[in-house]
C-alpha cells in the first residue's frame, strides 16, 4: 500500500501545482491518473496548442507548461500511479482514506484532493462487435511503454496528433506499422502529416486513408484486422497484426468518483469556495475544473489559486497540533525533499565607519 500525506486524483496542471504548494508545507503527495503520462488534457489532447493566460507567460504551449510544472515539483519527489483510474474511496475509523485504483493499487492518506479537471478521461472506442474481448490481448487504447511493440506488427486508427505521432515514433520500433484514417485529410500538425506521408513513401508506414477497421479476429489474442475502404470500391483488406490501437481521443467523465457520495451539481463537484474548497466529505477537497461554486471560473490559474488555499487547510488536518506560519518564497526559499534548496542571495551591507 502506498502511504502519503495527500492523495491527488488527477495529474493535470492543477494537480501538479498542488505538489509544489504542499511541498512548501513539507507535505508529501502521490498522484493518480488514468492517463499514461502527467499533464491531463495539456499532454494528451493539445500539447502543441498555445495558452495565453498563464501569468508571466505571454504565450506557452500546453505541453511546455506541463514540462515546467514537472521541473518545478521535482524537488518534492511526488509519487505517480499512472494508467490507473481511481475507483473507490473508503474512509477509515481514524478519518483517513484508502483510494483503490482500477488495477487494485491501494493508496492511504489523511487527505484526498480531486483535481481531475473535467473528470477521468476514457478512450473513445470504435464500434466493433467483439472489441472488448481483445482488450489487453492486442487491443490497446494508449501507449505506455513503446518497447512493448518492439518488432511487432501494429495497426493504429485515428487522424489526430496522437495517431500521427505514435505512428511516426513506432516506425523505428515495430516491424510493421499501419495507419488507418477514415478521411484523406488529417487533423494533426502539418509537420506530422508530412512526416507520416514521407514514411509511407519509404515503406515504413502502410497508410490506409478513406478507410476504417471494421472487424478484428483472433483466438486468445488478436491476430488480424479487416480494413474496409469508404470509397466507391468498398474493398476490404485483411491485415495480420499483433496490436490494434484506436486513438480517437478521450471522453471526460466523472466516472466512479460520481458514486463516492459527493455532492454533484451539473457533472461537477460542489465545494465550499468561501473557505477551503472542501467537499461535503470532510478531508476530501476538489480543485480545478472538476469543482463548482458560485462565481467559478474554469481557468488553469484559478486552479492554481485553489490549490494554494486548499493546501493551507489540508496542513491543519494532517498536523492538528501545529500552527503554520506562512513565509514568502522570496524570504524562506524553496527546500526540496531531495536536499536541494533555492533561495535569494542575501546582500551584505557594510557600514561605513
Task: Return the CATH class of domain 125-248.
Answer: alpha beta
pLDDT band for position 234 (50/70/90)? confident
Q: How confident is residue 146, by pLDDT bands cut at 50, 70 and 90? A: confident
Burial (CB count <10 Å: 0-12, 13-18, 19+), residue 211: buried
Annotated binding residue 86: yes
Question: Does residue 81 have a known ligand-binding role?
Answer: no
Burial of 99 (0-12, 13-18, 19+ CB in 10 A): buried
Is 209 marked as a binding-site residue? Answer: no
Average pLDDT over residues 255-283: 90
2-121+251-342, superfamily in CATH? FAD/NAD(P)-binding domain (3.50.50.60)
Q: Judge whether residue 53 has pLDDT over 70.
A: yes
Is the pTM of the predicted complex or chain greater than 0.75? no
Residue with cell 499532454: 43
315 touches 27 (CB < 8 A): yes
CB 317 within 8 A of CB 325: no
Per-residue confidence (pLDDT) for residue 8, from 0 to 100: 98
Whole-angstrom Cα distance, residue 243 to residue 241? Answer: 6
Residue 225 has pLDDT above 90, yes or no: yes
Handedness of CA 135, 136, 137, 138 (dihedral sign): positive
Q: Give pLDDT, residue 307.
A: 96
Share of the chain above pLDDT 70, in %: 95
Domain boundaries for CATH 3.50.50.60 within the chain:
2-121+251-342, 125-248
pLDDT band at 39 (very low <50, low <70, confident <90, very high): very high
Render pLDDT for 59-113 as a digit per residue (tens, 0 to 9).
Answer: 998 899 999 999 999 999 999 999 899 999 999 999 999 999 999 999 999 999 9
Helical H segments across 171-254, by residue range: 190-201
Quick one: pLDDT at residue 273? 77
Residue 277 assigned to a binding site: no
Band (42; pLDDT cuts 50, 70, 90): confident
d(CA 297, CA 291): 10
- Give the pLDDT of residue 353: 55
Give tens-digit pLDDT for 296-320.
998 999 999 999 999 999 999 999 9
What is the pLDDT averaged over residues 317-332? Answer: 83
Nearest to 211 by CA among 233, 182, 252, 179: 182
pLDDT above 60 (res 151): yes
Tell me what the pLDDT averaged over the chain comes to.
90
Please state, in angstroms and rounded to a whole number, the distance separating the CA atoms of residues 151 and 170. Answer: 10
Amino acid at each position: 500500500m502506498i502511504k502519503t500525506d495527500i492523495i491527488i486524483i488527477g495529474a493535470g496542471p492543477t494537480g501538479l501545482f498542488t505538489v509544489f504548494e504542499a511541498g512548501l508545507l513539507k507535505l508529501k503527495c502521490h498522484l493518480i491518473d488514468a492517463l499514461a503520462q502527467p499533464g491531463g488534457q495539456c499532454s494528451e489532447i493539445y500539447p502543441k496548442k498555445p495558452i495565453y493566460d498563464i501569468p508571466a507567460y505571454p504565450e506557452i504551449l500546453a505541453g511546455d507548461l506541463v514540462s515546467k510544472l514537472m521541473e518545478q515539483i521535482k524537488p518534492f519527489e511526488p509519487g505517480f500511479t499512472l494508467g490507473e483510474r481511481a475507483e473507490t474511496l473508503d474512509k477509515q475509523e481514524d478519518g483517513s482514506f484508502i483510494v483503490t485504483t482500477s488495477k487494485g493499487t491501494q493508496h492511504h492518506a489523511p487527505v484526498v484532493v480531486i483535481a481531475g479537471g473535467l473528470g477521468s478521461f476514457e478512450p473513445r472506442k470504435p464500434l466493433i462487435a467483439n472489441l472488448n474481448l481483445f482488450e489487453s490481448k492486442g487491443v490497446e487504447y494508449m501507449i505506455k511503454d513503446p518497447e512493448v511493440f518492439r518488432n511487432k506488427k501494429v495497426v493504429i486508427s485515428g487522424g489526430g496528433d496522437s495517431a500521427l505521432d505514435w505512428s511516426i515514433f513506432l516506425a523505428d520500433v515495430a516491424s510493421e506499422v499501419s495507419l488507418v484514417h477514415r478521411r484523406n485529410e488529417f487533423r494533426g500538425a502539418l509537420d506530422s502529416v508530412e512526416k507520416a506521408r514521407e514514411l509511407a513513401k519509404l515503406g515504413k508506414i502502410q497508410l490506409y486513408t478513406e478507410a476504417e477497421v471494421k472487424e478484428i479476429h483472433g483466438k486468445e489474442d488478436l491476430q488480424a484486422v479487416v480494413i474496409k475502404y469508404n470509397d466507391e470500391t468498398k474493398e476490404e483488406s485483411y491485415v495480420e497484426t499483433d496490436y490494434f490501437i484506436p486513438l480517437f481521443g478521450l471522453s471526460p467523465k466523472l466516472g466512479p468518483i460520481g458514486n463516492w457520495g459527493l455532492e454533484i451539481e451539473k457533472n461537477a463537484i460542489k465545494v465550499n469556495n468561501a473557505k477551503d474548497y472542501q467537499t461535503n466529505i470532510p478531508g476530501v477537497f476538489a480543485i480545478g475544473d472538476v469543482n463548482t461554486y458560485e462565481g467559478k471560473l474554469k481557468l488553469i490559474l484559478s486552479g492554481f489559486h485553489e490549490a494554494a488555499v486548499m493546501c493551507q487547510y489540508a496542513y491543519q488536518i494532517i498536523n492538528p497540533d501545529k500552527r503554520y506560519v506562512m513565509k514568502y518564497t522570496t524570504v524562506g526559499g524553496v527546500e526540496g525533499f531531495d536536499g536541494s534548496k533555492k533561495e535569494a542571495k542575501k546582500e551584505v551591507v557594510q557600514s561605513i565607519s
